[in-house]
A = this chain, B = another copy of it.
Amino acid sequence: MHLMELKLSQTEENYIKAIYSIEVHTGKSVSTNKIAEKLKTKASSVSDMIKKLSDKKLVYYKKYQGTKLTSEGKSIAVKIVRKHRIWEVFLVNNLDYTWDEVHDLAEQLEHIKSNTLINKLEAYLNFPTHDPHGDPIPDKDGNIEHHKNIMLSSAKVGENCTVIGVKDSSSSFLKFLDNTKIKLGSQLKIISIEEFDNSMIIENNNSQKSISHQISKNLFVKKL
């Protein structure tokens, strides 16, 4: 519906992405301070940029009332997210990066401008549905599956499930997962749950491990 492809700077794209991610998490309109915090910049800079994005009809904006992406803005945001996640898949699956190493690199790669590159890359990777952190990859038209956020901690004894993502994607958490050999797609069976501290014994690759509640609360799973 857009008459001409407007070209955004890397900075503009980063603002759009930040607004999108806050908007998705909170549902509400996004405050200037939140954006500043996310982008590690100052509120005054954000104010300036929001005006610019508003002029380009990428956000709705009334002074002092916070901001929200227009449908055009949202569509751009989703495209950036799509690029980011597809690149992450490539880095982890093909170049042997680990979960915790890829974010900064993907942050750069997502800004590569090309109409065809990301689609070719997606095909090369066999149309992955989730990135290495378990977040869903939007399709070519911007449709994105919102997964229902089932945590491992809510699973019952005897159930089987597949790991599809992590909630906490801090470097230390991801390293812990690497060490315990839990990764995307891992099949887990809940053997028992300790009432005292809610820790779980799970079976993974035919071996049993104990998982603290702290951990199970941060693992998204799909029940089988």
* A interface residues (Cβ-Cβ under 8 A, vs B): 91, 94-97, 105, 108-109, 112-114, 116-117, 120-121, 124
Contact of A117 among B95, B116, B117, B124 (CB under 8 A): B95
In the complex, which residues of chain B have a beta carbon less than 8 angstroms from the beta carbon of A121? 95
In the complex, which residues of chain B have a beta carbon less than 8 angstroms from the beta carbon of A97? 116, 120
In the complex, which residues of chain B have a beta carbon less than 8 angstroms from the beta carbon of A114? 105, 108
Alpha-carbon distance A127/B153, docked complex (angstroms):
45
In the complex, which residues of chain B have a beta carbon less than 8 angstroms from the beta carbon of A113? 108
Number of copies: 2
In the complex, which residues of chain B have a beta carbon less than 8 angstroms from the beta carbon of A112? 105, 108-109
* A124 smallest CB distance to B (angstroms): 6
* A91 smallest CB distance to B (angstroms): 8
Closest partner residue, chain B, to A114 (CB atom) = B105
Top 9 A-B pairs, shortest CB-CB distance: A95-B120, A108-B112, A105-B114, A95-B124, A94-B124, A105-B117, A109-B112, A95-B121, A108-B113
New contact pairs (11) apart from A96-B120, A108-B114, CB-CB < 8 Å: A91-B117, A94-B124, A95-B117, A95-B124, A97-B116, A97-B120, A105-B112, A105-B114, A105-B117, A108-B112, A108-B113
Closest partner residue, chain B, to A120 (CB atom) = B95
Alpha-carbon distance A12/B64, docked complex (angstroms):
39
In the complex, which residues of chain B have a beta carbon less than 8 angstroms from the beta carbon of A117? 91, 95, 105
* A8 smallest CB distance to B (angstroms): 14
Closest partner residue, chain B, to A113 (CB atom) = B108
